Each structure stands twice: as structure tokens, then as C-alpha cells.
């Protein structure tokens, strides 16, 4: 095997291991949503106390603004392996000390681990995978998001049913430790410089680099608006299905698998086609299709099968656009990729927070039609910022 062939095989193994590690991270953060009542009973606290854990977990996404620049300064490997180490500590803490404060701390550390891992691994992939193949690599990483709802959370349910509510913490902690060791063995230590021929800059310098870069600011505006539109719909879809079709909570939970399947399809399509079409064209097309799906969805509410079909299409387009955006934005600041992706995650998190608050308020006054119209407007506004940013960028060919 040639040297380039060995390098390519090694990179595939690294991306695969990183995707597995990300699956553990995503499952650790997401399983609290469907199993919040189980955790509240196990801890002997009100359900509102568990929702506080969810809010704290969401806040940790903003910490990526700190860890992204550190990844560019100290090395991507140090941060993404460290993120899995932090997750390991959090999960074992929550499992070994079954009290509310420890479980709160455990989920907080899970969020910190993800805030460390995501910008660092995307920066690492962006610096090693050629731009013309980046959509496939990032798409492979993003399969872990759908995998957490289709594989991870069902397995957590089985563990809770057979061994009790503490079992998932031990399983996830052990899996995170295993993934950390595997990545430590597969990924070589990085050279003293983050990028060949480039000096490492400090945290404030990297953040200033984003603020002074017009394509970067356009990317953040897109992330805020596009993800805000997604959560504006996501927070009310269960109420819509319940009120329009009389679904029970169990039925709504089963309907959520449609979203998981759509996310998996979107990630697969992005990995297979985005590089061939071109990342910039794919992203613009994905955002346009998403806006169209928002406008079409209320018209498909005449029956449950049509409504679920509309939800499937919407989340397929949303996930496709997000995967392509993650791939495309790794090239906005080549000298500070992890910092750029940290800014993206922070902007997306802020957008989701605002979108969730906005969606529930709009639902009260205008129902599904108004929510979908506002979401479409937000997606199109994000698209305008995106198009402007693409015009300012120097895209490698």
C-alpha cells in the first residue's frame, strides 16, 4: 500500500472513531429529554427540577466560544480527547452519587465535554480533509446526531428498564472512556503549530478575527436565524400533532422516530451528494428547500400521514443544510477553524434558544400557519446573509 493510501485509511479510521465518540456525547446530552420523568422519580425531585438540568445543559453550548480558540492554540487532539475525558467524569459522577446536585453536575460536564469536542474535531477534520471531500467527512461525523435518537436513546431505555435509572450513566461513562483511549491511539500528537506555516494566536485574537471577517459574521447570522427557525417549529410540533390528530404522549414519542429517520437521511444525502454538487450550491439549495417545506407543511395537515410526511421532508432538508453548513464553514477561517466552528455553535445555540421562546408565543396567537411562516422568513433571511458571505469568500477549487 502506498503512503498516501495508508494516510487515507488512517483518516477514515479516525473519522469513524470520532463519529462513535460523538454518538456517545450526543446520547449523553439527549437522553434526559424522553426520560426526564424517570430521572425525577429516581432522584425524588419535581419534574421542573429536571427541566432545570436541561436548561443548564443547553447553556454549556456557549462555552464552545472558549474551547474553540483553545483548540486552535493547544491542538485539536488535546481538546477532543479531553472532551471525552470530561464526559467520562460527569457520567461516572452522576452514576456513583445518585443525588440531584451530582446528576446536575454530571449533565453539566457532559455539555462541557461536547463544547470541547465538537469545534475541535471539526477543526481537525477541516485541516486534514481536502475541501472537495469535506462534505462526506462531516456528513459521516453528523450521522452520530441521528444515531443518538435511533440507536443511543432506545438502548438507554433498555438499560433503564432492566437495571434501573443509574445504569445509563455507567454505560455512557465506560463508552466515553473507551472512545477517548481509542482516539488517543489513532490520532498522532499534533506538531507545535496548529496549521503549517501559521502562528498560534490567543483566544481574544481569534475571536477578534471572527468579528473582523465579513464571511464569518455572515455565517454566524445564518447559523442564528436558520437554527432559530428550526426550534421555533420543533417546540410546537408535539402540541400540533396532539391537538390536530388526538395523539397521545406515547404516540407523539413514536412519531419522533420520523424526525430521527429524516435526520439520518439528510446526513446520508449530504455525505453522498454535497461534494459533487458543490458545498456552496448545496447549502443555498438546502436553505431554500427548508423555507419551502415550512410554507408547505400547514397545507399537509389534513391527515396524519401527510403531516408526518411533511415533517420528514422538513427535517431532511434542515439536517442536510446543517451538515453542509458545518462542512462549508470550516473553510471560512482556515487559520482558526476550531474558533470559527465554536462561533457557529454558539450562534446556533443562541438562535435555538430564541426560536424556542418565539415559537411557543407565536403558536398561541397564530397556530401552525403563523409559526411556519415566521420560520420560513427566518430561514430566508439567513439565506440572504449566507449568499452575501459566499460572495465575500475565497473558496478553494
Query: By the 8 A CB rule, do 91 and 143 touch?
Result: no
pTM: 0.78
- Which tens digit of pLDDT belongs to each residue from 162-182? 899 999 999 999 999 999 999
Length in residues, the chain: 397
Provide the pLDDT for residue 194: 42
pLDDT at position 372 is 95
pLDDT for residue 301 = 79
Q: Is the pLDDT of residue 251 over 90?
A: no
Model pLDDT, residue 396:
52
- Which among 177, 139, 92 has a CA at the least distance from the CA of 269? 139
Q: What is the mean pLDDT of residues 271-299?
A: 92
Out of 1-15, 200-214, 296-310, 327-341, give the one with best mean pLDDT. Answer: 296-310
Cβ atoms of 264 and 150 closer than 8 Å: yes
Strand residues in the chain grouped as ranges (E): none
CATH superfamily ID and name for 203-392: MFS general substrate transporter like domains (1.20.1250.20)
Specify which of 38-52, 118-132, 283-297 reaches the highest per-range mean pLDDT. Answer: 283-297
Average pLDDT over residues 19-25: 93
pLDDT band at 253 (very low <50, low <70, confident <90, very high): low
- Helix, strand or coil for residue 376? helix
- What is the Cα–Cα distance from 271 to 363, expressed in whole angstroms? 35
| pLDDT (0 to 100) of residue 125 | 85
Residue 191 has what pLDDT?
Answer: 57
The Cα–Cα gap between 264 and 386 comes to 24
Q: Which of 349-358, 359-368, 387-396 has the lowest mean pLDDT?
A: 387-396
Retrieve residue 23's grid coordinates: 454518538
Confidence at residue 197, expressed as pLDDT on a 0 to 100 scale: 41
Query: Under CATH, which number does the domain 3-184 receive?
Result: 1.20.1250.20
Is the sign of the CA dihedral 333, 337, 341, 342 positive or negative? Answer: negative
What number is the average pLDDT over the span 114-139?
A: 85
123-137, 186-200, 249-263: which has the highest mean pLDDT?
A: 123-137
Q: Which residue has the higher pLDDT, 254 or 147?
A: 147
Grid cell locating 292? 419551502
- Residue 126 CA to residue 330 CA, distance in Å, equals 6
d(CA 19, CA 298): 35
The reply to whether 3-184 and 203-392 are identical in fold is yes
Instruction: Give the pLDDT confidence score for residue 139 in this predicted structure.
Output: 83
DSSP states of 213-281: -HHHHHHHHHHHHHHHHHHHHHTTHHHHHHHHH---HHHHHHHHHHHHHHHHHHHHHHHHHHHHH-HHH
Given a contact cutoff of 8 angstroms between Cβ atoms, the answer to whether 337 and 309 are in contact is: no
Q: 232, 359 in Cβ contact below 8 A?
A: yes
Give the Å distances, CA to CA, from 151 to 32, 145, 154, 160, 164. Answer: 15, 10, 6, 15, 19
Q: Is pLDDT at 248 greater than 90 in this prediction?
A: no
Q: Where are the domains of the chain?
A: 3-184, 203-392
Average pLDDT over residues 19-31: 91
- 198: which strand partners? 195
Provide the 3-class DSSP secondary structure of residue 109.
Answer: helix
pLDDT, the chain, mean? 85
The whole-angstrom separation of Cα 230 and Cα 379 is: 9
Which percentage of the chain shows pLDDT scores above 70? 90
Q: How confident is the model at residue 320 (pLDDT cuts 50, 70, 90)?
A: very high
Determine the average pLDDT of the residues in 367-379. 95
The torsion angle over the Cα atoms of residues 202, 62, 371 and 144, rounded to 10 degrees, is: 100
Amino acid at each position: 500500500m502506498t503512503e498516501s493510501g495508508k494516510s487515507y485509511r488512517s483518516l477514515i479510521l479516525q473519522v469513524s472513531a470520532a463519529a462513535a465518540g460523538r454518538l456517545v456525547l450526543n446520547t449523553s446530552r439527549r437522553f434526559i429529554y424522553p426520560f426526564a420523568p424517570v430521572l425525577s422519580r429516581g432522584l425524588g425531585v419535581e419534574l421542573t427540577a429536571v427541566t432545570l438540568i436541561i436548561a443548564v445543559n443547553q447553556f454549556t453550548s456557549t462555552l464552545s466560544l472558549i474551547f474553540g480558540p483553545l483548540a486552535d492554540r493547544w491542538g485539536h487532539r488535546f481538546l477532543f480527547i479531553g472532551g471525552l475525558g470530561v464526559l467520562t467524569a460527569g457520567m461516572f459522577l452522576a452514576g456513583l452519587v445518585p443525588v440531584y446536585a451530582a446528576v446536575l453536575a454530571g449533565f453539566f460536564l457532559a455539555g462541557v465535554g461536547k463544547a470541547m469536542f465538537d469545534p475541535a474535531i471539526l477543526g481537525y477534520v477541516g485541516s486534514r480533509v481536502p475541501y472537495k471531500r469535506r462534505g462526506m467527512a462531516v456528513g459521516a461525523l453528523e450521522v452520530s446526531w441521528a444515531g443518538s435518537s435511533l440507536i443511543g436513546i432506545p438502548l438507554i431505555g433498555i438499560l433503564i428498564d432492566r437495571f434501573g435509572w443509574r445504569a445509563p450513566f455507567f454505560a455512557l461513562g465506560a463508552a466515553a472512556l473507551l472512545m477517548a483511549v481509542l482516539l488517543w491511539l489513532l490520532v498522532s500528537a499534533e506538531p507545535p503549530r496548529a496549521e503549517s506555516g501559521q502562528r498560534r494566536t490567543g483566544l481574544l485574537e481569534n475571536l477578534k478575527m471572527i468579528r473582523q471577517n465579513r464571511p464569518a459574521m455572515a455565517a454566524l447570522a445564518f447559523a442564528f436565524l436558520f437554527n432559530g427557525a428550526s426550534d421555533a417549529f420543533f417546540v410546537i410540533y408535539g402540541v400540533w400533532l396532539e391537538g390536530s390528530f388526538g395523539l397521545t404522549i406515547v404516540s407523539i414519542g413514536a412519531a419522533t422516530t420520523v424526525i430521527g429517520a429524516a435526520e439520518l437521511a439528510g446526513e446520508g444525502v449530504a455525505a453522498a451528494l454535497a461534494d459533487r454538487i458543490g458545498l456552496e450550491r448545496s447549502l443555498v439549495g438546502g436553505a431554500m428547500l427548508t423555507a419551502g417545506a415550512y410554507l408547505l407543511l400547514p397545507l399537509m395537515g389534513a391527515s396524519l400521514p401527510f403531516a408526518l410526511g411533511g415533517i420528514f421532508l422538513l427535517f431532511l432538508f434542515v439536517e442536510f443544510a446543517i451538515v453542509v453548513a458545518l462542512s462549508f464553514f470550516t473553510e471560512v477561517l482556515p487559520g482558526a477553524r476550531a474558533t470559527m466552528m465554536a462561533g457557529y455553535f454558539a450562534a446556533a445555540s443562541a438562535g435555538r434558544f430564541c426560536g424556542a421562546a418565539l415559537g411557543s408565543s407565536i403558536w398561541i396567537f397564530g397556530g401552525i400557519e403563523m409559526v411556519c411562516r415566521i420560520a420560513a422568513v427566518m430561514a430566508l433571511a439567513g439565506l440572504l446573509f449566507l449568499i452575501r458571505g459566499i460572495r465575500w469568500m475565497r473558496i478553494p477549487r
